[in-house]
A = this chain, B = another copy of it.
């Protein structure tokens, strides 16, 4: 029997968890200060809640659960594992609408599951950190979400990220002005979305392969594929003769509000940004860093999805940070503070011999009362063996209560890093360790 975790999933050992908790702690703190409140939903949903929400490809990647655990014969599935955090949110908004505030701002940090082919950095179980605002079309929403995300990335130590921003209705306008028939819009967006990976010529070839006319393809690549330009939004607005177009107005409002925030200097208008999910209706955003092919997160406005559950449309906008990618980049760049992975213990109490066991237990109790993380060696083992164990666990301090120390009402505290050993009075042991840990 294999003892590995299932394909595409991971076990998180203590150091992994500490890194994850570090990132989640920053995300949660910032989300809360921006007025978002926590929500959690079940790991699985009724299967009909998820089917048909993620496109044909997405449908295939949904993990389906056999009914009542007993229908092995019929193979009937009635539940499915959460595929993202947005569809469950839409269901929650419909279910609890009378209890929720008019503007519902929630964050949700939970795993999702996709039956994808596992690959480097692609997992079947991974965490998303979502924040969404339901109930208003105000451009403050997009600005606030981007600001929160920019603050998180800055606090985590990212100095080189940009927030790419575009608008779904600008894309639609571009496709119409390029005289593409509506049936080809999806194909064209899929091709354009790859421009960072396959370049301008690659996109031209893919559009030709998909039957898009040369004229249409050239027009699109003229507007989109010519590389970043500082005045891209102004230039495109003139090219398209679209100064009064609501999408340009909306985007300018968002940029205007965001200008004086932490997101301001990070923002880049980029009309090649398409974002896969079909439910977006307004502004769309994505976080890019130079050394990652994909994005660290993204989001956008989706004013119709909640309506699929509620029966009437409710405006909504959200942003999702990918925890696994944040951690991958932070690991590769060595961005985790030493304190995060320094280990989970402050001090280990040894047991000198069987008769001193109770005294050691009492000392461990006192150290724990003082808030220290304390390992009590479980057996009256050879003292050398106990020290060896403490070193292997990376415990910074070891407390020794031998017969001599006890006779003098003292404890010997050994700093395993420096090797220095200090005798302190029993009553001062906790304060001594705490002061040395802080120093």
Contacts and interface: CB of A to CB of B under 8 A. Distances in A.
A70 interface: yes
A16 B105 CA distance: 16
A309 B3 contact: yes
A105 B69 contact: no
Given A1-B48, A6-B44, A379-B136, A33 B372 contact: yes
A78 B393 CA distance: 37
Contact of A33 (B64, B257, B362, B374): B374
A393 B81 CA distance: 32
Contacts of A81: 43, 65
Contacts of A362: 260
A2 interface: yes
B69 A115 contact: yes
B64 A65 contact: yes
Contact of A375 (B9, B35, B368): B35
Contacts of A64: 65-66, 69, 72
A35 B374 contact: yes
Interface stretch (A94-102, A168-176, A203-211, A331-339): A94-102
Interface string A384-399: 0000010011000000
A420 interface: no
Contacts of A62: 69
A249 B379 CA distance: 17
Contacts of A60: 69-70
A5 B41 contact: yes
Interface residues of A, number: 100
Contact of A69 (B5, B63, B101, B143): B63
Contacts of A392: 101-102
Interface in A304-334: 309
A3 B136 CA distance: 22
A432 interface: no
A185 interface: no
Given A17-B40, A66-B65, A361-B260, A4 B95 contact: yes
A13 B70 CA distance: 31
A92 to B, nearest CB: 5
A73 interface: yes
A42 B10 contact: yes
Report how many copies the assembly holds: 2
Contacts of A416: none
Given A4-B95, A140-B376, A378-B133, A17 B35 contact: no
A261 B361 contact: yes
Interface string A132-164: 010010101101100100000000000000000
A38 B344 CA distance: 9
Contact of A140 (B12, B257, B357): B357
Contact of A393 (B49, B101, B144, B361): B101
B70 A33 contact: no
A352 interface: no
A419 interface: no
A229 interface: no
Interface in A36-95: 37-46, 48-49, 60-66, 68-77, 79, 81, 91-92, 94-95
A422 interface: no
A408 interface: no
Contacts of A39: 11-14, 17
A338 to B, nearest CB: 17
A44 B80 CA distance: 13
A405 interface: no
A6 B261 contact: no
A111 interface: yes
B144 A376 contact: yes
A106 interface: yes
Contacts of A9: 42-44
9 contacts: A1-B48, A6-B79, A9-B43, A11-B41, A34-B374, A35-B344, A75-B75, A75-B76, A257-B361
Given A11-B92, A32-B373, A260-B361, 6 more contacts: A1-B49, A5-B95, A6-B42, A11-B95, A140-B357, A144-B378
